Amino acid sequence: MTLAIPKILVLDSATIGKVSKDYWDSNIFLRNKARTFINRLQYLSVFVTFTATHLIELFRYGDEQVVQARLRFLRRIPLIAWLRSYDNSQLPGGIPDLLLRELHVVVHSKIREWREIVDAVRPELWEMGIGSKTFLDNDEFLSDIKRWSHHLLEKEIYTESIARTDPGQMSDVKLCEVLRLPLRAKEERDAYIDRFAQELQKQLEQHGDERFDNPQKAAIDFANSTLQDVKAVDEIGGNPIQILLKSVDVPLELLYPEMTCREFGELAIYANRLKKISKSLCPPIELTINDIPPDTLPSYVLERKLALIQRKAERVSGSNMGDRHITPLIFYSYGVEVDKRTYELLNQVRRKEPKLASLMGKFFPSSDYSQIPELFEE
């Protein structure tokens, strides 16, 4: 007797929402289409997979009736899988849990090769069950998810929009050039901050997420926060630029004169995230970039490669962050559905990064969901 090997399918949240809508539709053709889709996946031993990102995107929809219908639909799916949280709580995990599991393997098993990291993480990554036992009809649970998801949506829109800007035109300036820049006189700073805020507002309006609320206020608040940081550095004394370089958790020996401010910023982002996630390791441990260089965790590398490409777009979207949190699952699943833009970006990465490409499973663009089971019949 041959045992069927479960296959992990990661659908785009928009597709899950579409299948849910059709599943309850008054049109018998659409109802049959959605229910046939679910039945075919069950027959093929395909598990519809969820992460924290999926739940956030599904349950922050503005129409309460749609949210309730989606919850009822999820309870009808016979085979589901979810990304197991690192602390083994009952809720599906997200990208922080995936990074923690990769980091755990690196720290405790002394593994550094990407293929070995993926092979070690995969057996512990997925929990499997049935929809009716997993998505309980619990008002308190649903309320918490919706409240949390709306907060994260605002954060995603803000973060992606701000990251797209460069009001001081410093991204491509080299550190050696930064250190030679004359220090701005204190009496000139207020006027400069006003110009900085105006340019930031302009860039937010041109390139930020179209849902960004009140870019003028965001620009003024961000500029004032930057000014306060400069004043705090003044109180320390010494060269403010050198103090700034030392204030982040980037070892000075990793800096070099030709490094750009953008490259330095990427190191600072990584150092900050490494510091946060290492505190959640079991047992907790303090790690630095010297211990775990930025190219150590394959999921982080792919996430940042996508971020750098996404932020070159004329107009960014807060949903870019959610896309980046799903795409690393191509290392750990049979197939991942992505929107058409992310599909093109992943193909760019696959062409330019053969080492990452060697780890990638199937990924495919969103289209007619009824055709997806054909991937598993090959």
In angstroms, the CA 294 to CA 271 distance is 8
Q: Within a domain: residue 296? A: no
What is the residue-averaged pLDDT of the chain? 88
Nearest to 301 by CA among 337, 336, 330, 280: 330
CB count within 10 Å of CB 137 equals 11
Q: Show Cβ contacts of residue 269 under 8 Å, excluding neighbours closer than 6 positions.
A: 304
Q: Six-digit token pair at 80?
A: 């589901």
CA dihedral over 100, 115, 310, 53, signed as positive or negative: negative
pLDDT value, residue 245 = 66
The domain tally of the chain equals 2
pLDDT value, residue 295 = 95
Q: Tell me which DSSP letter residue 327 carries.
A: G
User: In Å, what is the CA distance from 33 to each residue of 22, 23, 73?
Assistant: 7, 8, 14
Q: Which residue carries 């922080």 as its tokens?
A: 96
Are both 47 and 140 inside the same structural domain?
A: yes
Are both 112 and 183 inside the same structural domain?
A: no
Q: Tell me which DSSP letter residue 84 carries.
A: B
Confidence of residue 22 (pLDDT cuts 50, 70, 90): very high
pLDDT tens for 43-69 read: 999 999 999 899 888 988 878 899 889
CB count within 10 Å of CB 378 equals 5
Q: Within a domain: residue 20? A: yes
Evaluate whether 46 touches 79 at the Cβ level (below 8 Å): yes
pLDDT tens for 104-153 read: 999 999 899 999 999 999 999 999 988 877 776 666 666 767 676 766 77
Are both 134 and 185 inside the same structural domain?
A: no
Q: Tell me which DSSP letter residue 368 carries.
A: -
Evaluate whether 69 touches 155 at the Cβ level (below 8 Å): no
CB-count burial class (<10 Å; 0-12, 13-18, 19+) for 328: buried
Q: Six-digit token pair at 108?
A: 């405790």
pLDDT value, residue 223 = 87
Are both 149 and 170 inside the same structural domain?
A: no
In angstroms, the CA 348 to CA 279 distance is 34
Are both 142 and 216 inside the same structural domain?
A: no
Q: What is the mean predicted confidence (pLDDT) over 223-250?
A: 74
Are both 35 and 116 inside the same structural domain?
A: yes
In angstroms, the CA 213 to CA 307 distance is 22
Are both 272 and 333 inside the same structural domain?
A: no
Dihedral of the CA atoms 157, 162, 163, 167 (nearest 10)? Answer: 160
Are both 125 and 27 inside the same structural domain?
A: yes
In angstroms, the CA 247 to CA 325 distance is 28
Q: 3: left (phi > 0), else alpha (psi -120 to 50), else beta?
A: beta
Q: Six-digit token pair at 334?
A: 């049979």
Q: Within a domain: residue 298? A: no
Share of the chain above pLDDT 70, in %: 92
Nearest to 266 by CA among 293, 240, 230, 232: 293
CB count within 10 Å of CB 38 equals 20
Quote the domain boundaries for residue 191.
161-279
Q: Within a domain: residue 216? A: yes
Are both 173 and 262 inside the same structural domain?
A: yes
Q: Show Cβ contacts of residue 161 under 8 Å, excluding neighbours closer than 6 positions.
A: 204, 207, 208, 209, 212, 215, 218, 316, 318
pLDDT tens for 67-105 read: 889 989 999 999 999 999 998 877 788 999 999 999 999
Q: Six-digit token pair at 286?
A: 């303090």
Which residue among 279, 297, 330 closes a domain? Answer: 279
Q: Within a domain: residue 95? A: yes
pLDDT value, residue 3 = 42
Indicate the length of the chain as a whole number. 378
Q: Within a domain: residue 185? A: yes
User: In Å, what is the CA distance from 98 to each residue of 84, 86, 364, 369?
Assistant: 9, 8, 21, 27
Judge whether residue 239 has pLDDT over 70: no
Q: Within a domain: residue 290? A: no
In angstroms, the CA 101 to CA 183 distance is 44
pLDDT value, residue 16 = 96
pLDDT value, residue 139 = 67
Amino acid at 335: G
pLDDT value, residue 240 = 65
pLDDT value, residue 49 = 94
Are both 116 and 203 inside the same structural domain?
A: no
Q: Which residue carries 């399918």 as its tokens?
A: 9
Are both 233 and 187 inside the same structural domain?
A: yes
In angstroms, the CA 371 to CA 15 distance is 12
Confidence of residue 1 (pLDDT cuts 50, 70, 90): very low
Which residue among 227, 257, 279 closes a domain? Answer: 279
Q: Within a domain: residue 294? A: no
Q: What is the mean predicted confidence (pLDDT) over 198-207?
A: 92
Confidence of residue 189 (pLDDT cuts 50, 70, 90): confident
pLDDT tens for 288-321 read: 899 999 999 999 999 999 999 998 888 888 788 8
Are both 184 and 269 inside the same structural domain?
A: yes
